[in-house]
Amino acid sequence: MTATEKLNELFNRWQEEFPDYKGKFNKDGINNEEAFNSQKLKILFIAKEPNDPEQNEDDYRDWWANGVKYLFSHRICEWAFGLLNDFPPIENLSYNNEERVKIMSAIAFMNLKKIGGNASADHELIRKVISREQHFILEEISIIAPHIIIGGIGDSEFWNLLFPGIEFVNSGFDIKVAKYDSYKIIDYYHPSYKVPRSMSYCLLGCVFNSEMFLKL
3-state SS class at 47? strand
Q: Do the Cβ atoms of 55 and 78 come closer than 8 Å?
A: no
CATH code of the domain in which 9 resides: 3.40.470
Strands 43-47 and 148-151: parallel
Model confidence band, residue 122 (pLDDT cutoffs 50, 70, 90): confident
Q: What's the CA gap between 10 and 17, in Å, rounded?
A: 11
What is the number of domains present in the chain? 1
Q: How many Å is the maximal CA-CA distance in the chain? A: 47
pTM of the model: 0.95
Model confidence band, residue 23 (pLDDT cutoffs 50, 70, 90): confident
Q: What is the pLDDT of residue 121?
A: 65
Q: For residue 140, what are the CA distances in angstroms to 54, 67, 106, 114, 160?
A: 24, 24, 17, 12, 17
What angle, 0 to 180 degrees and rounded to 10, lies between the N-to-C axes of helices 70-84 and 97-104? 70
Q: Do the Cβ atoms of 158 and 126 come closer than 8 Å?
A: yes
Per the structure, the complete domain to which residue 138 belongs is given by 3-214
Instruction: Flag the least confident range among 42-56, 111-125, 170-184.
Output: 111-125
